[in-house]
Amino acid sequence: TLPPVVTPPSTGALYITGSATPASWQCGCGEAAPASQTFTKISNTLFEITINLTANGSYLFLPQYGSWSVKYGGTGSNNANNVNGDNFKINGGDLKAPSTGGNYKIRVDFQAGTFSVIKL
């Protein structure tokens, strides 16, 4: 198989943080990750989470909760992504949530370098 488009987290874990999430932005001070913001690892390159997103908020994916040393975000300017899914990269810009708040399934695929946001 081909190598992943985006290198998967060396931690084997993935978290979401941001104003679009229930716990808002993490402080970067080593606090514990809320279970509600912890992705389920489907495979080494695929992660999923079901989460309540705040309309038009911002978010990022983190391989280590409580640390800003590595983050995953959009490939363009902050909040310039397609809110239903797009490409992502290491140390990319903030991602914008959909304009309708509610429960969503977010799927992050490191193999393809894409994420999807599906309203439930």
How does pLDDT run across 3-15, given as a tens digit for each residue? Answer: 999 999 999 999 9
Between 10-14, 20-24, 30-34, 76-80, the lowest mean confidence (pLDDT) is in 30-34
Q: Is the pLDDT of residue 46 over 80?
A: yes
Q: How far apart are CA 83 and CA 111, in angstroms?
A: 20
Ordered by where they begin, the domains of the chain are 15-119 (2.60.40.3620)
Contacts of 29 (CB under 8 A, 6+ apart): 66
Q: Is the pLDDT of residue 70 over 80?
A: yes
What are the distances in angstroms from CA 70 to CA 53, 106, 110, 119?
Answer: 22, 19, 15, 27
Q: Binning pLDDT at 50, 70 and 90, where does residue 66 land? A: confident
String of DSSP letters for 89-114: EET-BPEEPPSS-EEEEEEEETTTTE
